[in-house]
């Protein structure tokens, strides 16, 4: 899981850039209580993130590599916060 609080706004890694792209596209959101990133499970947001990644590339990164990093980061983020109690199913 990925915590989003306490980070500076400057992007220092390709992974950090990918997290920013996913946030901008609305593909991930932050747990309001604990700060962990959570996937929104929105296929349209995922596609928006991949489109953004292909258009707004970091220097020296190919379109394929940028899209791959965004996919890898999104695949590493779950849809629940590890610190929140499990929701009870009815």
Query: What is d(CA 66, CA 60) in angstroms, rounded to the nearest whole number?
Result: 10
* Residue 9 banded pLDDT, cuts 50, 70, 90: low
Average pLDDT over residues 37-61: 92
What are the boundaries of each domain within the chain?
A: 14-75
Instruction: Look up residue 4 and give its DSSP letter.
Output: -
Output the pLDDT for position 12.
81
Relative orientation angle of helices 63-75 and 43-55, to the nearest 10 degrees: 150
Mean pLDDT across the chain: 86
pLDDT digits (tens, 9 = 90+) for 53-68: 999 888 899 999 999 9
Tokens read off for 24: 């901008």
For residues 79 and 41, the answer to whether their CB atoms sit within 8 Å is yes
Output the pLDDT for position 10.
54
Adjacent-strand bridge partners of 39: 28
Tokens read off for 20: 């920013």
For residues 49 and 74, the answer to whether their CB atoms sit within 8 Å is yes
């Amino acid at each position: 899981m990925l915590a989003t609080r306490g980070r500076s706004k400057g992007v220092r890694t390709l992974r950090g850039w990918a997290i920013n792209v996913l946030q901008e596209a609305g593909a991930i959101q932050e747990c309001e209580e604990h700060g962990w990133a959570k996937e929104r499970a929105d296929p349209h947001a995922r596609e928006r993130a991949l489109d953004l990644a292909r258009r707004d590339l970091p220097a020296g990164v190919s379109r394929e590599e940028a899209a791959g990093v965004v996919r890898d980061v999104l695949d590493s983020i779950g849809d629940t916060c590890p610190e929140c109690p499990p929701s009870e199913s009815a």
